[in-house]
Amino acid sequence: MDHGLSLDPLERVRVVLSHASHPGNIGGAARAMKTMGLSRLWLVSPRHFPSDEAIARASGAEDVLVHACVTDSLAKALDGCVLVAAVTARRRELSTPTRWARDAAAELVAASRQGEVALVFGNETSGLSNDEVALCHMPVMIPANPAYSSLNLASAVQILAYELRQAAAAPGAPPPVAGEGQPAPHEDVERLVAHFERASIGSGFLDPASPKRLIPRLRRLFARARIEREEVAILRGILSALEQPQRKPD
């Protein structure tokens, strides 16, 4: 699906709800988004959708529900995104530093000049799985009461949508540097990771029966670097050349 790039940064932000349990929260999230000028809702394997309860809670934001994209894979919902933030209620064992909501919003708005961006929210009870977080570039936390940090899903969407609106209205980050490359879209990075995995197994470096943390570590490295299109092409070119039978010296 190609939406082209809207002039309004808020229209380049996808809100992705993964495995939402309660239709009321989906409706509440749609309303929260619309109040802040967001419109692009993605639902990954929602328990009930469409639903009358979602429509009721959406109030005047039924259009956001009508245009929502439903899919069964988070990777599909992130297809084409240049920056993806995972909203998480707790610190995770990841080397990527956690951003606070306000800082993450500024980064997302800045990145939206180069392509679509996404904010990913997990299930109401269990949050995002580690595999889901691993598909994102950065974890984001909403500052909250340490004794009770259990924000309602629609409330969490509301705060981040509000911060995005604030960030979009602010004078913003300095324009990108001239030499700066094009960030690689999500699916290119996944293909690169898959290529490394094939090459590691094919060369005998990685035993698929005992994969250790090798592939997640590479994915994390590329996410942290915000790897660019051209860099993906270089690395894949080297891997492909190495996978050919060795050349004899002429």
The token duo for 249 is 């010296």
Distance CA 54, CA 42 (A): 14
Distance of CA 224 to the CA centre of its chain: 13
130 binds a second copy (CB under 8 A): no
- Length in residues, the chain: 250
Among 5, 55, 69, 218, binds a second copy (CB under 8 A): 218
The span of 15-23, 70-78, 108-116, 142-150 binding a second copy (CB under 8 A) equals 142-150
Which range of residues in 46-54, 65-73, 126-134, 136-144 is near a second copy by CB under 8 A?
136-144
- Cis preceding linkage at 50, omega within 30: yes
Query: For residues 143-162, which are near a second copy according to CB under 8 A?
Result: 143-145, 148-152, 154-155, 158-159, 162
Total residues contacting a second copy by CB under 8 A comes to: 80
If one asks whether residue 234 binds a second copy (CB under 8 A), the answer comes out as: yes
Which residue among 13, 20, 26, 32 contacts a second copy (CB under 8 A)? 32
Collapse the DSSP code of 17 into the 3-class scheme (helix H, G, I; strand E, B; otherwise coil) and give the result: strand
CA distance 232 to 221: 13
Measured CA to CA, the distance from residue 44 to residue 120 in angstroms comes to 10
Task: Give the residue, chosen from 98, 185, 187, 229, that forms a contact with a second copy under the rule CB under 8 A.
Answer: 98
Given the complex with a second copy, which of 117 and 140 has the nearer CB atom?
140
The answer to whether 196 contacts a second copy (rule: CB under 8 A) is: yes
Burial class (CB in 10 A: 0-12, 13-18, 19+), 83: buried
Give 120 or 140: the residue with its C-beta nearer to a second copy. Answer: 140
Q: Does 142 bind a second copy (CB under 8 A)?
A: yes
* Measured distance CA(148)–CA(144) in Å, rounded: 8
- 208 is an interface residue for a second copy by CB under 8 A: no
Q: Which of 56, 75, 76, 205 binds a second copy (CB under 8 A)?
A: 205
DSSP category for residue 80: T
